[in-house]
Each structure stands twice: as C-alpha cells, then as structure tokens.
Structure 1
C-alpha cells in the first residue's frame, strides 16, 4: 500500500468516527430544553458544513499529484483538525 492509499484509509476512518460523534450529538437534541436544542442544532449544522469542507478538500487532494499533493494534504489536515476541535468543544458543552 502506498502512502496515498494509507492516508486515504486513515482519513476515511477519521471521517467515519467524526460522523458517528456528530450523529450521537444529534440523537441528544430531543432531550434538551428549547434554548439548548436550538444551540445544538446550530452547532450540528456548523459541524456538518465543516465535515463537507474536509470531504471537498479530500476530493481535490485525490486528483493532485507530486508536490501539489503534499501541499494540499496540509490543507486537508488543517481542516480535519479544525473539525475535531469544533466537535470536541460542542461535546464538552453538551455533556
């Protein structure tokens, strides 16, 4: 397996894990007060947008080659880290 394939598998696993955590948050919405529910729904919407950005960057990365691949990979990693950080903040607020 080459490094691009290994990276793809790693990123796919990360995105599945992040999606599962977002889904868990979504399952909690019905048990919250109206204000908290509205805030969590907004946060979930933002998280899903961030996840879509990661996926779009990933799709662009798959088309790249050589040095462009390395540069674009950094963008994917940054977007993924931002998504993880945002998700952890939301999770900590709604524990």
Structure 2
C-alpha cells in the first residue's frame, strides 16, 4: 500500500501567530512521539495568515487520523483558526 501525504491548511487568527507556533510545535512533537511521523509548517508566501502543516509517508492512515484529531483536541489548535473558517485536510498518494 502506498503511503499517504497530508497537507492541512487554514487561516490563522491575526495576532496569534506566535502562540500558534509554540502550540503547534508541541502538538507536532506529541504526534511524532505517538506515530513516528514528523510534521512541517509553512506559511503562504503572499498571505502570512494562511498556514500549512505537512505530514509525509503516513503508512497507517486510520491510526494517524486518530492521533492527529487527538493532538488537535489536546493542544487546542482550533482556537487559532480564523473565526468562521476551518482546517482543510488534503491527502495525496504517489501516482505509481
């Protein structure tokens, strides 16, 4: 089975970037400890309030989904998402 690659993007509440960076670092460390998958964080080049988390080479999608949702809840990540918006998750697999 091909590994999955997660791309999760969302608009950040303006003024909370520093707090989000710290909480997201802790959430990703927690997620890596539970799943072995390390994450990366990027900001959109022309919109610094749109952030993206990237998690690559996820072999066990069901277990990762559960661990990710638990990390989001445990670390309160949704409080940093702009009001009225949500986290968008896209999952990709290799073509061949």
Higher gyration radius (CA): 1
Q: 1 or 2 for the larger relative contact order (CA 8 Å, sep ≥6)?
A: 2
Q: Do they fold alike, i.e. is TM over 0.5? A: no
Query: Which structure shows the higher helix fraction?
Result: 1
**Interval of TM-score (by shorter of Structure 1 and Structure 2):** 0.3 to 0.5
> TM-score normalized by structure 1?
0.34
